[in-house]
Chains A and B, each alone.
Chain A
Amino acid sequence: MLRAEAISAFRGERLVLRDLSFALAPGEALLLTGPNGSGKSTLLRLLAGLLRPEAGRLWWRDADALADPAEHATRLILVGHLDAVKPALTAAENLRLPGGDIAGALAALDLTRLGELPARMLSAGQKRRLALARLALAPVPLWLLDEPTLGLDAASVARFGTMLGAHRARGGMVIAATHLPLPLPDARELRLT
């Protein structure tokens, strides 16, 4: 469904991705591994349509995915390494963009009790959970995750694993950059150098 074809991308002056090709079918997961600076985050931002590839194409169901970045954005959720949590808004208010089933999303990551609390009162791990709760707001086919479990406790990782499993069972796709083991059984690995 998602297919990258000979993608190359620059980060500043440096060519970090070179002739990268892969394909992902519904229900599949892809782990991006590699040392720091190998282009994992760059690739995720590129797949999200935030970054234009220098060469190569990205296909979504045999159509050019990046032809309309706004439409491509509706097919995916990117959880970057920044949490994008506004300290002045409450946890629940933070989820009103992109919007969806806010109560359900808070419950999925055990944040219901903290829903009315200003996000500045949350700990680093709780903010991370709030960022991950965006995944549960509405079903979208593609999840792009950048170090999703950084700072999470074991119980939250297990809960997140349940979300990942349910998403893949629905036919969703996951691409995750990580150094930590993720609860993604039989995920394929793409090693960047």
Chain B
Amino acid sequence: MNRFGRILWRELHLALRYGGDTVAALLFFVLAGLLFPLAIGPEPKLLGTVAPGVVWVAALLAALLPLDRLFGADFEDGSLDLLLLSGLPAFAVAGAKALAHWLTTGLPLLLIAGPLAIMLRMPDAALPALLAGLLPGTLLLSLLGSTAAAVVLGARRGGVLLPLLVLPLAVPVLIFGAAAPAAAALGETARPELLLLSALLAASLPLCPIAAGAALRGAVG
């Protein structure tokens, strides 16, 4: 097994042992989504209109939950030194961590977003566009989130700083992601929004790990 695989295996193994973290994020996602019908009323047409936005905002907030511990635990127990001395460049370590975050948070959110959207009476025509947008969207959230988590590492009150850093960066993702199912619900094509999301992903895929790697090196130095 190569070094990248070993780090990824370790992260997934740890996530499995601390299964509560993933379950907590998923429950938060579902509960946050369920609050909306209670607050704005069960009228199907209104709910169906706001459903894409609700699912996206809830996914964004749920993806934030485990970020605090993504590097924090490794930083405190000395494992971060071990990761950075594993022979991999720092950007690859950050990339493995971001991928682990997506596999343990983004992917489960993606799987459960469909049932939540149906529960919120989202029009059937919009569902494929929502899921197609969430695929690059959750990957983007993992990349942006892991970068911000690396940047706030070692800062006092990093947990408070983290959402303040991630949320503004995630605004374009949210806009295009929620616009795709809204367009599909009106019978239009969601192609431009999905392509823009993919373009954002293509830009973040190399940039975020490099920035996160530099931040990790700064944190241990």
Q: Which residues of A contact B (CB under 8 A)?
A: 45, 48-52, 69-71, 73-74, 76-78, 80-86, 88-89, 93, 96-99
Contacts and interface: CB of A to CB of B under 8 A. Distances in A.
B220 A50 contact: yes
B83 A85 contact: no
B78 interface: yes
Interface residues of B, number: 26
A50 B221 contact: yes
30 contacts: A45-B81, A50-B84, A50-B220, A50-B221, A51-B221, A52-B221, A69-B217, A73-B84, A76-B85, A80-B78, A81-B78, A82-B78, A83-B78, A84-B77, A84-B79, A84-B81, A84-B82, A85-B77, A86-B10, A86-B79, A88-B14, A88-B17, A89-B10, A93-B10, A96-B6, A96-B10, A97-B82, A97-B83, A98-B85, A99-B6
A89 B13 contact: yes
Contacts of B84: 50, 69, 73
A50 B90 CA distance: 11
Contacts of B83: 97
Contact of A97 (B77, B86, B217, B220): B86
A88 B18 contact: yes
B69 to A, nearest CB: 12
B206 interface: no
A83 B79 CA distance: 8
A78 B78 CA distance: 11
Contacts of B115: none
A89 B17 contact: yes
Contact of B87 (A74, A81, A82, A93): A74
Interface in B120-166: none
5 smallest beta-carbon distances between A and B, as pairs: A82-B78, A88-B17, A84-B78, A73-B85, A74-B87
A133 to B, nearest CB: 13
B82 A96 contact: no
Contacts of A96: 6, 9-10
